[in-house]
Chains A and B, each alone.
Chain A
């Protein structure tokens, strides 16, 4: 298990389409462990494989991480997402979003309020979850990474949507 350096914009890995995972082997298990341990050492709630330089469709999300005890949003705990797909999205939320790989900027981004995502776990077992609010946002953000898409690509208004980050709260 290793904490790996997080790739920062403009690293080319961040704008590349990731490959579908075909083998659920020990290499994948190692990748998931590295992603998880790197996430828990970071100020974020989700991490995608391209953010540590691996172009595979793998992400981890845990919105309990960094949440204050009394403000933990509804969640499914730690989620390992291998080959995730957004099955359904409903409602709108426009959160102010940041990214571990673009630490200098924040943006208001339009996202679904509720999503259904299908994925595999590290053992190759498929599952489907329905999520809402902050966790739904994190899922959409991490799936975007696997498509080579940053939140910068979803900005809808120049005057009101882009902010320079002052610090990591």
Chain B
């Protein structure tokens, strides 16, 4: 029976990390089920879900420790259930775009408002711009409005918040097209 694991590896970016980590997992007989990586500044992070017939633990497994040590990565490993490993698409998705002059507290105010409106955040990215006369801030949030939430109430609250923060906030439903 397959064992499911979630692994993260975080540290300073260097060429070759992804190859080193995935080669080691392949050597251990692991099959990748899902993965994502990103860089922020010069820092690197990778998240992997994989299966293996063996029981693993990050502290007890020498090869994962060696990889972490060699590449100066914080490695964590967690066993998860098959259902936790499965991607669960959101049903009632929206994208919230926020942009305006940079000021402290935009992300916390918007995310608090979304949470209060029963909006579950599934993705977030921010961009600070510096070429204008003043620093600008762009925040994108994707998420799912839970059944107990209301799109009208969400729109109303964000409109009020946008005025308060002096930012523009737009909400648009994500409507994938089958082409």
Cβ–Cβ < 8 Å partners of B138 in chain A: 9, 105, 152
Instruction: Give A contacts to B, CB under 8 Å.
Output: 8-11, 15, 92, 102-105, 148-150, 152-159, 162, 164
Chain B, interface residues (CB within 8 Å), range: 20 to 34
Task: Bits for B111-129, please: 1 = Cβ < 8 Å to A, else 0.
Answer: 0000000000001110101
Cβ–Cβ < 8 Å partners of B170 in chain A: 149, 153
Q: Chain A at the B interface: mostly helix, strand, loop or mixed?
A: mixed
**Structural contact, A158 and B95, CB atoms closer than 8 A:** yes
B60 at the interface (CB under 8 A from A): no
**Structural contact, A104 and B140, CB atoms closer than 8 A:** no
Given contacts A8-B133, A92-B179, 4 further A-B contacts (CB under 8 A): A10-B100, A104-B129, A154-B172, A156-B172
| CB nearest to A148 among chain B residues | B168
**Structural contact, A150 and B131, CB atoms closer than 8 A:** no
B174 at the interface (CB under 8 A from A): yes
**Structural contact, B168 and A15, CB atoms closer than 8 A:** yes
**Structural contact, A150 and B127, CB atoms closer than 8 A:** no
| CB nearest to B170 among chain A residues | A153
Number of A-B contacts (CB under 8 A): 68
Inter-chain CA distance A149–B136, complex, in Å, is 16
**Structural contact, A9 and B97, CB atoms closer than 8 A:** no
Inter-chain CA distance A131–B78, complex, in Å, is 55
Instruction: Give B contacts to A, CB under 8 Å.
Output: 95, 97, 99-102, 123-125, 127, 129-138, 140-142, 168, 170, 172, 174, 177, 179
Cβ–Cβ < 8 Å partners of A92 in chain B: 177, 179
The one of A11, A102, A155, A164 that contacts B95, using a Cβ cutoff of 8 Å:
A155
Which 5 A-B residue pairings sit nearest by Cβ, starting from the closest? A8-B132, A10-B136, A10-B101, A15-B168, A153-B170
Known: A159-B123, A162-B127. A152 touches B172 (CB 8 A): no
Inter-chain CA distance A75–B177, complex, in Å, is 29
Inter-chain CA distance A38–B127, complex, in Å, is 27
The one of A11, A154, A157 that contacts B132, using a Cβ cutoff of 8 Å:
A11
**Structural contact, A158 and B140, CB atoms closer than 8 A:** yes
Known: A9-B99, A15-B100, A152-B99. A158 touches B125 (CB 8 A): yes
Inter-chain CA distance A59–B134, complex, in Å, is 25
Shortest distance in angstroms between B137's beta carbon and chain A's nearest beta carbon?
Answer: 7
| CB nearest to A164 among chain B residues | B127
Inter-chain CA distance A154–B174, complex, in Å, is 11
**Structural contact, A153 and B97, CB atoms closer than 8 A:** yes
Inter-chain CA distance A157–B170, complex, in Å, is 14
A selection of 29 A-B contacts at a CB cut-off of 8 Å is A9-B99, A9-B136, A10-B99, A10-B100, A10-B102, A10-B129, A10-B134, A10-B137, A11-B132, A92-B177, A102-B129, A104-B127, A104-B129, A104-B130, A105-B127, A149-B170, A152-B99, A153-B97, A153-B168, A153-B170, A155-B140, A156-B95, A156-B172, A157-B174, A158-B123, A158-B141, A159-B123, A162-B125, A162-B127
